[in-house]
Chains A and B, each alone.
Chain A
Amino acid sequence: MEVVVSPPTDKDILDLGVMAAEQETCLPVKVCYGHILTLAKNVDCLFVPRLISCQKDTYICPKFMGLPDMIKHSGYNLPQLITPTLNARERRNSWPHSLVRAARELGFSRRMAEAAWYQARQELSLYRKKLQQGHTPLDILFSRCQPDVASDHNLLLLGHPYNIFDEFVNMNLINQLYRRGYRVITPEMLPPRLIEQKAAKLPKHLFWSLGRLLVGTASHYLEEGSVSGIIHVVSFGCGPDSLVGELLERRAKKVSQMPFLLLTLDEHTGEGGLITRVEAFLDMIEWRHVS
């Protein structure tokens, strides 16, 4: 089967998404609409999974849960949609089940589908290993390296993967930090078990998968103190992050007085404004070091 992947986000994709999606939705949903509509013209089948949960007792977010339906009823002519429900909320191994079922509906044998799943999983674990060695996904894709800098030049970059690793959406934030001589640490670089352990310390079970990732990572580095600052990237109107971000910011202030920058992205964010804020934040961190 030939697989077509949408090109990296650009202005056209974003504009398409902004036009097609409900105006209240957050930036990532609009970007996703843009990608889907870009693909729709050149494919026979679209893979838009219904992502419910990546781990036990959590959800991603309601918009992910409704995404295939939102797309289907957006009034555009779309090819056939493949929308397996991916839900690890109750059963741990339900992901392969639904993916294999989706493959069988497309006419593949169970054996082929399962073999494909195992291969994909192996690739994934290789990729994860690389991430945990301290590479960002972009480093791996473009085979580049984190800058070689002093160990006190680490920044913790928090945010959902679709925001912090999309260079168009975040206006090349990671590169900008590299250029200023900072190593970037993201939640993907910590072992999931450690993150889970830290997130479990919250007084109430946090039921958003990505929220747990952020809280777990942040508490680890706040305790350890091995980063000079935290940058939290959120999309305007992101539901979970409006609360999780608040908890993080309050904790950063209380626990260790760690510098904390909240960057809110939407389709109107200008590069100039973003750069100015990041530079001011980095200047502040450097002045702290001097004094």
Chain B
Amino acid sequence: MKVTFPHMGYLYVPVRSLLNSLGVEVIVPPAISQETITLGTRYAPEFACLPLKVNIGNFLEAKELGADTILMAGGVGPCRFGYYSQVQREILSDLGIDLDMIILEPPQGQWRLLLRGLKRLTAKASPLAVYRAGALAWAKLKALDFMAKEMHPIQAREAVRGRTMRAWKEMVERIDDADNTKAVQEATQQGLALLRKIPLQTAKDTLKVGLVGEIYTILEPAVNLDIERSLGEMGVEVIRSVYLSDWVVTNLVLHTLHLRDDTEHYRLAAPYLNHFVGGHGLESISSTIEYARAGIDGVVHVAPLTCMPEIVAKSILPQVSMDEDIPVLTLMLDEHSAEAGIKTRLEAFCELLQARRNRQQTCHKRNCDVPAQCREGFTFEGISRN
């Protein structure tokens, strides 16, 4: 059994580690490239959302490398992600490609299916080894999330562009190479030291931008055209709303055990959106409110084109933007999105944010009330369809 799985940011590091320590042979698909996206788009339904298409590309490229089994997550709706695996299986089998699928998802009364999937993955490992594998993968995931959080403020202030990105790549490699939890800790310490060594610009007052939206487009740089890096290298500090480890805890573990608690999100979003709408629609609203109240300069909202929960969020965000006085830029991404287009929009958005901040500061210095035009939130749209 040679197992592969779809890419989502640095998810491949903990998953590879997990499967390797369970004694399962792993084929990590090649990093997502334009070819991957083109390949996926060719065989996927035209109006499916982007992640499904990119997944197909991943599977086909991994098949070339010899994979024979796919490990995939699922869900119970209403977001389309819950039915991805079924459609992908049909597409692959119609292409005559023989790939087995192990689907891990919250069981709807079908615990047997979930257990069977888990059993296939853990067949070669003793219970102790399973525990160790889980602990190691979890440590790696936590370490990567921690590093990403540490990296954002430094990237915005680095004196030489690209130094932080280089350090980040090295950190990912080191954490990937670690083969026990202690080594992961050491790698984290080394990574932190690397980050601390990066020379910073002195006394730079950076803009802060929150990144909210659909998890896949937030986490996968090849799909969001490296939004985090683009913003960072414009000297803007990114505050990301979703981290993989949080998602694993809430969606995979707590949801399955019916212990999920989103009260804080619900409470914040309630005046605008009083019911969950699947995916991260509600979280997009609540995080935007949270950021506005924390004094963050603006919010970038990303989602795949036709993403249902995020369309609901996008319909409501203009009102949130106005009431909470925070500018919001929505970027709907699909296979035709291009880096230059996204970058131009981001640059324009950040210039507006900077101008807004300057105005507010001058008004503040002159000790007068902030005039209405400075307080106005503004929303403008970026879509990839032209």
A residues bordering B, Cβ < 8 Å?
A: 21-25, 50, 52, 57-63, 65-66, 68-70, 73-75, 85, 202-208, 234, 236-243, 245-247, 250, 254, 264
* B275, A24: Cβ atoms closer than 8 Å: no
> In chain B, what residue has the closest Cβ to A60?
B78
For A205, what are the chain B residues with a Cβ–Cβ distance below 8 Å?
108
> In chain B, what residue has the closest Cβ to A251?
B90
For B90, what are the chain A residues with a Cβ–Cβ distance below 8 Å?
246-247, 250
Given contacts A65-B78, A75-B318, contact A25 B47 (CB under 8 A): no
- Scan B14-50; emit 1 where CB is below 8 A from any A CB, else 0: 0000000000000000000000000000000111110
* B45, A246: Cβ atoms closer than 8 Å: yes
> Is B298 an interface residue, CB under 8 A from the partner?
no
Extra pairs beyond A25-B315, A57-B76, A65-B277 (13, CB < 8 Å): A22-B311, A23-B381, A24-B332, A62-B311, A65-B78, A65-B312, A69-B275, A75-B318, A85-B275, A202-B86, A242-B80, A243-B52, A245-B45
For A23, what are the chain B residues with a Cβ–Cβ distance below 8 Å?
381, 383
User: What's the least CB distance linking A53 to chain B, in Å?
Assistant: 9
13 of the cross-chain contacts (CB-CB < 8 Å) are A21-B315, A24-B332, A58-B77, A65-B276, A65-B312, A66-B309, A85-B275, A205-B108, A207-B78, A239-B306, A241-B47, A243-B83, A250-B91
> Is B279 an interface residue, CB under 8 A from the partner?
yes
> Is B272 an interface residue, CB under 8 A from the partner?
yes
> Is B281 an interface residue, CB under 8 A from the partner?
yes
> In chain B, what residue has the closest Cβ to A242?
B47
Compute how far the CA of A239 lies from the CA of B83 in the bound complex, rounded to whole angstroms.
11
For B82, what are the chain A residues with a Cβ–Cβ distance below 8 Å?
207
User: What's the least CB distance linking B369 to chain A, in Å?
Assistant: 25
Compute how far the CA of A60 lies from the CA of B275 in the bound complex, rounded to whole angstroms.
14
Compute how far the CA of A236 lies from the CA of B47 in the bound complex, rounded to whole angstroms.
8
Most buried by A among B74, B79, B80, B85: B80
Compute how far the CA of A69 lies from the CA of B316 in the bound complex, rounded to whole angstroms.
7
> In chain A, what residue has the closest Cβ to B45?
A246
> In chain A, what residue has the closest Cβ to B317?
A73
Given contacts A73-B315, A204-B86, A237-B306, contact A62 B78 (CB under 8 A): yes
* B306, A22: Cβ atoms closer than 8 Å: no
Compute how far the CA of A205 lies from the CA of B276 in the bound complex, rounded to whole angstroms.
21
> Is B314 an interface residue, CB under 8 A from the partner?
yes
* B272, A63: Cβ atoms closer than 8 Å: no
> Is B167 an interface residue, CB under 8 A from the partner?
no
* B279, A73: Cβ atoms closer than 8 Å: no
* B48, A24: Cβ atoms closer than 8 Å: no
Given contacts A62-B279, A70-B316, contact A239 B108 (CB under 8 A): no
* B277, A62: Cβ atoms closer than 8 Å: yes
* B47, A59: Cβ atoms closer than 8 Å: no
* A62, B47: Cβ atoms closer than 8 Å: no
Compute how far the CA of A63 lies from the CA of B273 in the bound complex, rounded to whole angstroms.
12
Q: Looking at the complex, which one of A66, A204, A254 makes contact with B275 (CB distance below 8 Å)? A: A66
Compute how far the CA of A205 lies from the CA of B91 in the bound complex, rounded to whole angstroms.
18
Compute how far the CA of A21 lies from the CA of B277 in the bound complex, rounded to whole angstroms.
18
* A238, B47: Cβ atoms closer than 8 Å: yes
User: What's the least CB distance linking B304 to chain A, in Å?
Assistant: 10
Compute how far the CA of A254 lies from the CA of B381 in the bound complex, rounded to whole angstroms.
42
* A24, B312: Cβ atoms closer than 8 Å: no
> In chain B, what residue has the closest Cβ to A245?
B45
* B278, A59: Cβ atoms closer than 8 Å: yes
* B314, A24: Cβ atoms closer than 8 Å: yes
* A208, B77: Cβ atoms closer than 8 Å: yes
Given contacts A62-B309, A75-B319, A237-B306, contact A69 B45 (CB under 8 A): no
Compute how far the CA of A142 lies from the CA of B16 in the bound complex, rounded to whole angstroms.
63
* A69, B48: Cβ atoms closer than 8 Å: no
> In chain B, what residue has the closest Cβ to A52?
B275
Compute how far the CA of A17 lies from the CA of B274 in the bound complex, rounded to whole angstroms.
23
Which 8 A-B residue pairs are closest in the complex by CB-CB distance?
A207-B77, A66-B312, A59-B78, A73-B319, A242-B47, A62-B308, A246-B45, A22-B315
Given contacts A24-B306, A240-B80, contact A70 B312 (CB under 8 A): yes
> In chain A, what residue has the closest Cβ to B320?
A73
> In chain A, what residue has the closest Cβ to B306?
A237
* B272, A73: Cβ atoms closer than 8 Å: yes
User: What's the least CB distance linking B346 to chain A, in Å?
Assistant: 19
> In chain A, what residue has the closest Cβ to B83?
A243
> Is B94 an interface residue, CB under 8 A from the partner?
yes
> In chain A, what residue has the closest Cβ to B323?
A73
User: What's the least CB distance linking A243 to chain B, in Å?
Assistant: 5
> In chain A, what residue has the closest Cβ to B381?
A23
User: What's the least CB distance linking B187 to chain A, in Å?
Assistant: 39
> In chain A, what residue has the closest Cβ to B105?
A204
- Scan B278-320; emit 1 where CB is below 8 A from any A CB, else 0: 1101000000000000000000000001111101101110111
Compute how far the CA of A262 lies from the CA of B257 in the bound complex, rounded to whole angstroms.
40
For A65, what are the chain B residues with a Cβ–Cβ distance below 8 Å?
78, 275-278, 312
For B80, what are the chain A residues with a Cβ–Cβ distance below 8 Å?
239-240, 242-243
For A22, what are the chain B residues with a Cβ–Cβ distance below 8 Å?
311, 314-315
Q: Looking at the complex, which one of A50, A52, A70, A243 makes contact with B48 (CB distance below 8 Å)? A: A243
For B46, what are the chain A residues with a Cβ–Cβ distance below 8 Å?
242
* B275, A203: Cβ atoms closer than 8 Å: no
> Is B160 an interface residue, CB under 8 A from the partner?
no
For A61, what are the chain B residues with a Cβ–Cβ distance below 8 Å?
78, 308
> In chain B, what residue has the closest Cβ to A70?
B315
> Is B87 an interface residue, CB under 8 A from the partner?
yes
Compute how far the CA of A62 lies from the CA of B284 in the bound complex, rounded to whole angstroms.
14
